[in-house]
Structure 1
Amino acid sequence: MSAEHEVPIRDESIRLGQLLKLAGVVDDGAMARSVIELGEVSVDGAVEVRRGAQVRPGQTVTFAGQTIRVAAGG
């Protein structure tokens, strides 16, 4: 079952690994690093393997059937 939720961020961008933790789809940074390096995370439909990739409001991240929409104003 897929889920979609919006995650507001404070700054103009957030690192991909931090976003996964903030959204609650991974337990910790080690898990975030692992799933990103394994190519299980997509940003705007393209697989992203860099944990430090910057994600900005308006972008969509997908992982494990969940869609995370990044919003401004956390």
Structure 2
Amino acid sequence: MKEINIDTEYIKLDQFIKYIGIAQTGGHSKMLIKNGQIKVNNEICFQRGKKIKKGDMIEILDDETFIVK
């Protein structure tokens, strides 16, 4: 599990995926979310604009897990 620090109150899920380097473009992050490859707090999330806050756990492709600090 990797810890990711954010300096704002929240970051949107599609922006978070780009921020951590999993997706290079917004279109790529959109496809990952649309295809159900992203879990937020152990639930598949289909909302690109989902607000990710400190303490949230994001799992990408059933492989990498990140916690927001």
**Fold similarity call, TM over 0.5:** yes
Matches within 5 A, 1:50-65: 50-64=47-61, 65=63
Q: What TM-score, normalized by structure 1, do the two folds share?
A: 0.86
Check the 8 A contact 1:23/1:68 in 2, yes or no. no
Match of 2:59, SS?
strand
Q: What TM-score, normalized by structure 2, do the two folds share?
A: 0.92
Structure 1: gaps of 5 or more residues: none
- Give the CA deviation at 1:25: 1.3
> Which residue matches 2:8?
11
User: Greater relative contact order: 1 or 2 (C-alpha under 8 angstroms, separation 6 or more)?
Assistant: 1
State how many pairs are aligned.
Answer: 68
> Which residue matches 2:20?
23
Q: Work out the CA distance in 2 between the residues paired with 1:27 and 1:66.
A: 16
Structure 2: gaps of 5 or more residues: none
Runs of 4+ with >3 A deviation: none
- Give the CA deviation at 1:7: 1.1
> Which residue matches 1:67?
65
How large is the RMSD of aligned CA atoms in angstroms? 0.8
Sequence identity percentage:
25
